[in-house]
């Protein structure tokens, strides 16, 4: 896929923006707080309906305005698409593809595939399990509609079950009908939970050979890296464990067992990188993980994703910068940075350079 044009209206600090994007490498440079990340965010929102910063729609709409628009013109396998997103302050966003309104976000998935890379991604190994689950979920949801629907259902069941646990504790009612309802939620939770666990297992298995290859050439050594899925509970034990934790769950009004507590470990030879990795090792593994994502999307959708690099180069040392820039040839890339020094030093080929100043963008 290739993004040809972006149009924004009342999107964060852009009152109006129209940008023609090159099909190769685009650089957006400028001082801090000028609106570089906002451009990449708008693409992320148009392709996934959500902000990578987890901002709400009303935070994205320009201060003082009631609505915002994002329009993305893409080409995929020779076909042109226009994604039209209309963000409204107190209503759900409206999305249309080629002028036809869509009802489900998943309809975007077959069209728009992006890989977003921000400095926070380099902390994925150091951070808590929720960040690692989020990575897996974001990836799987982009690639697999069935997973998206199973995960959404699982989360809904979890929310309802937790709500019911609270109701029971408030009413102190152990009456049978309410406990029957809890049984029903348990069955649903187990059924969707097992699907989530199975899909995550498969995903990690598919990721392993890819990340190991990239990590090997990135670190220049023969250490073996392995992602290890650590499910909170195995499918076969889910029912029994949920049953035996029911009293605890009733006491704490929350569900203590299930894939919402999963983790993924990174093992280098035999070292647990989460706990014992040096910062350098953790960063190399995180970078390898992000680059694996490109490969994974490429094979899953049989097309090149668009790569969005938000200020990551300045976070990497020069050998990792080299590796990253060398490995992105042939795929459309949008890079934000404060200075252009790194590219000049590396004689990196840039196709379009934009200067971003206070919500306006000038091509250089």
Residues of this chain that interact with Mg ion (CB under 5 A) are 36-37
Does position 54 interact with ligand ADP (CB under 6 A)? The reply is: no
Closer to Mg ion by Cβ: residue 108 or 356: 356
- 310 forms beta bridges with 336
The correct pick among 25, 26, 37, 219 for binding ligand ADP (CB under 6 A) is 37
The correct pick among 23, 51, 62, 152 for binding ligand ADP (CB under 6 A) is 62
**Nearest of 38, 32, 33, 31 to residue 17 by alpha carbon:** 38
User: Out of Mg ion, ligand ADP, none, which partner does residue 35 contact, by CB within 5 to 8 A per kind?
Assistant: ligand ADP
Are 350 and 25 within 8 A, CB to CB?
A: yes
Which phi-psi region, left, alpha or beta, contains residue 13 (left: φ > 0; alpha: ψ -120 to 50)? Answer: alpha
Q: Residue 24 Cβ, how far from Mg ion at the closest point, in Å?
A: 22
Closer to Mg ion by Cβ: residue 211 or 316: 316
Q: Residue 74 Cβ, how far from ligand ADP at the closest point, in Å?
A: 22
How many Cβ atoms sit within 10 Å of the Cβ of residue 79? 9
Q: Which stretch, 25-33, 206-214, 256-264, 269-277, contacts ligand ADP (CB under 6 A)?
A: 25-33
CA distance 209 to 80: 34
Q: Which stretch, 30-38, 164-172, 206-214, 323-331, contacts ligand ADP (CB under 6 A)?
A: 30-38
Q: What are phi and psi of 173, to 5 degrees?
A: -100, 120
Cβ contacts of residue 227 below 8 Å, gap of 6+? Answer: 204, 207, 208, 211, 264, 265, 266, 267, 289
User: Out of ligand ADP, Mg ion, none, which partner does residue 25 contact, by CB within 5 to 8 A per kind?
Assistant: none
Burial class (CB in 10 A: 0-12, 13-18, 19+), 145: middle
User: Out of Mg ion, ligand ADP, none, which partner does residue 63 contact, by CB within 5 to 8 A per kind?
Assistant: ligand ADP
Does position 281 interact with ligand ADP (CB under 6 A)? The reply is: no
List contacts with ligand ADP (CB under 6 A). 12-13, 30, 32-38, 59-63, 356
């Amino acid at each position: 896929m290739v993004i040809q044009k972006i149009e924004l209206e009342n999107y964060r600090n852009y009152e109006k923006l129209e940008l023609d994007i090159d099909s190769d490498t685009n650089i957006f440079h400028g001082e801090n707080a000028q609106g570089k990340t906002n451009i990449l965010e708008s693409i992320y929102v148009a392709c996934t309906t959500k902000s990578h910063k987890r901002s709400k729609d009303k935070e994205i709409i320009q201060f003082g305005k009631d609505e915002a628009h994002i329009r993305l013109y893409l080409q995929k396998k020779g076909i042109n698409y226009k994604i039209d997103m209309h963000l409204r302050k107190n209503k759900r966003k409206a999305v249309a593809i080629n002028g036809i309104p869509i009802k489900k976000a998943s309809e975007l998935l077959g069209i728009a595939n992006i890989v977003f890379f921000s400095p926070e991604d380099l902390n994925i190994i150091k951070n808590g399990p929720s960040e690692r689950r989020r990575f897996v979920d974001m990836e799987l949801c982009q690639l697999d509609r069935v997973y998206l629907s199973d995960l959404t259902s699982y989360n809904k069941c979890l929310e309802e079950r937790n709500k019911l646990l609270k109701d029971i504790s408030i009413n102190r009612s152990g009456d049978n009908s309410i406990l029957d309802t809890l049984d029903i939620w348990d069955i649903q939770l187990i059924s969707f939970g097992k699907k989530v666990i199975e899909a995550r297992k498969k995903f990690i298995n598919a990721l392993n050979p890819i990340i190991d290859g990239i990590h090997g050439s990135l670190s220049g050594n023969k250490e073996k890296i392995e992602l290890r899925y650590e499910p909170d509970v195995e499918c076969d034990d889910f029912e029994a464990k949920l049953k035996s934790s029911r009293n605890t769950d009733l006491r704490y009004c929350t569900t203590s067992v299930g894939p919402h507590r999963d983790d993924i470990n990174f093992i280098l030879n035999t070292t647990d990188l989460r706990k014992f990795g040096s910062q350098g090792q953790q960063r190399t593994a995180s970078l390898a993980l992000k680059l694996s994502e490109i490969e994974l999307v490429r094979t899953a959708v049989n097309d090149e994703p668009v790569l969005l690099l938000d200020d990551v180069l300045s976070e990497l040392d020069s050998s990792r910068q080299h590796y990253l820039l060398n490995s992105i040839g042939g795929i459309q890339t949008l890079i934000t940075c404060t200075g252009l020094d790194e590219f000049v030093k590396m004689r990196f080929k840039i196709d379009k350079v934009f200067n971003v100043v206070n919500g306006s963008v000038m091509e250089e």
